[in-house]
Amino acid sequence: MNAPDAGFITVTSFIPFFTPMIMFLRVGMLDIPFWQAAVGIGITLLTILYWPRINLRQFKRVQSDQTSATFSEKLIGKQPGDSQAVSLLTERAFARIRC
């Protein structure tokens, strides 16, 4: 990290996977504008909040494509809402860990 103010480093610090590490290094080595830190944190928080919905939608699509009735439809007899699907996924994951 010879040049923490390089364009590549600045752009990479806004990518959620790299934000915690690179933004921390940039703040320690440079005097960055407040908006850059705020945008990096904001993008990361939005990703944390929105990513499970994307994955859940994809999981539902894959499940409905594989069988005529999804796992949740067999279990409860109807297509679950978002909160029901999340609880089904966590219960199923923890059941595998316990066995």
Per-residue pLDDT of the chain (99 residues; tens, 9 = 90+): 577 778 888 888 888 888 888 888 888 888 889 999 899 999 999 999 988 888 888 787 776 665 555 565 566 566 666 777 777 777 766 666 655
Q: Examine residue 5 and state whether it is found in any structural domain, yes or no.
A: yes
Q: Examine residue 33 and state whether it is found in any structural domain, yes or no.
A: yes
> Containing domain of residue 34, as a range?
1-50
Q: Examine residue 68 and state whether it is found in any structural domain, yes or no.
A: no
Task: Tell me how many domains the chain contains.
Answer: 1
CB 65 within 8 A of CB 39: no
Q: Looking at beta carbons, which pairs linking 52-55 to residues 24 or more positions away fall under 8 Å?
A: 52/86, 53/82
Q: Examine residue 29 and state whether it is found in any structural domain, yes or no.
A: yes
Q: Examine residue 27 and state whether it is found in any structural domain, yes or no.
A: yes
Q: What is the pTM of this model?
A: 0.54
Q: Examine residue 36 and state whether it is found in any structural domain, yes or no.
A: yes
